[in-house]
Amino acid sequence: MEETEWLAERFEQHRPRLRAVAYRMLGSMAEADDAVQDAWLRLGRSDADQIDNLGGWLTTVVARECLHMLRSRRRREEPRLPEPVAIVDGDLDPEQEALMADSVGLALLVVLDRLSPAERLAFVLHDMFELPFAEIAAIVGRTPAAARQLASRARRRVNGAELPSPDPDLVRRRQVVDAFYAASRGGDFDALVQILDPDVVWTSDFGTDGQRVVRGAPAVARQVRGANGGRLHPVLVNGVVGALVTVDGRPFAALVFTVAGDRIIAIDGLRDPERVRRFADAAGIPPPPVTSPAREGS
């Protein structure tokens, strides 16, 4: 028992990095946690005394599991928005501040989703976590030179994507999004158009029903009417301002805003019920109270 506890303690020291690797690989914290849990199970079946570099061994196991999951996803799924990481907007504790500081924007995760599984693994492990190409080559089953080429191709695609640069001032971003909320609730079309960048992009993910993309301020302004009875809960999502939309107390949608200057340049929306529920759970927003059905004659 003592040996198991000792091993578990050592594993927990590596868990934050393993989750970070897996999330960047998969774009889903739920799937990332599955990959990390698989690494723990594999460790329990291995002779830990024979592992010289536990962190490297665990990273390799997680990376291989992520590669397998990416290949399976590519065969069976339609493209979808990555699953964001949410924290209730407000005073952050040190752990939450660290998570936000280390967060990856949804725009980058979308670009990573366009890479092949091997390209994504090479880019994430080398460019984000500084693993040498010799170790990456062993994971993807190629030579170090081929692994270097994978990362290079991925890097060119990421650099060529012209990812939006959010305003670093969180207070300013909140003010812009608050103005958006006010204009949306008031049905003020002209005010919405002024808050939105002329080339703003609105992306909605409906899960198995696919994505919908709307471009341009007038077209997006017509899409942002709030649901009847909807309530907005401010959250921080992958380091940027967002909101959970609830209707009658139940999670309805998640919104993520990218702000540059005084305008919104991108809005990403999640409407897939299961993913929105996980988003609400991660943000710490409680579910609606369960009400008992009324008795007949009462």
- Tell which of 137, 159, 181 closes a domain: 159
How many domains does the chain fold into? 2
The sheet carrying 211-215 orders its strands as 86-88, 230-237, 240-247, 250-260, 263-270, 196-205, 211-215
Which tens digits make up the pLDDT trace of 152-175? 999 999 998 877 666 677 788 889
Residues 8 and 30 placed together within one structural domain of the fold: yes
186 is a domain residue: yes
177, 154: one domain: no
Of 48, 234, 50, 24, whose CA–CA distance to 120 is shortest? 24
- Looking at residue 229, its pLDDT comes to 60
Query: Which CATH number do you get for residue 125?
Result: 1.20.140.160
pLDDT at position 212, please?
84
Contact present, 56 and 69 (Cβ < 8 Å): no
Q: Is residue 113 classed exposed, middle or buried when 0-12, 13-18 and 19+ CB atoms within 10 A define those classes?
A: middle
Domain with 226 in it: what CATH number? 3.10.450.50
- Say whether both 66 and 95 belong to one domain: yes
Residue with tokens 């994505």: 211
In this prediction, the residues of the chain whose per-residue pLDDT falls under 70 are 1, 3, 77-81, 88-103, 164-167, 206-210, 225-229, 286-298
Question: Of 135, 159, 183, which one is at a domain's C-terminal end?
Answer: 159
Domain endpoint, select from 159, 186, 221: 159
Same domain, 149 and 177: no
DSSP run (H or E) holding 69: helix 54-76
Look at residue 298 in the predicted model and tell me its pLDDT: 44
The phi, psi pair for 59, rounded to 5°, reads: -60, -40
| Domain residue limits at 253 | 170-283
CA-CA distance, 176 to 273, in Å (whole number)? 27
Q: What is the pLDDT of residues 229-288, one digit of tens each?
A: 677 788 888 777 888 888 888 888 888 898 888 899 989 888 888 888 888 887 777 666
What CA–CA distance (Å, rounded) separates 218 from 197? 10
Per-residue pLDDT, 50: 83
Same domain, 191 and 128: no
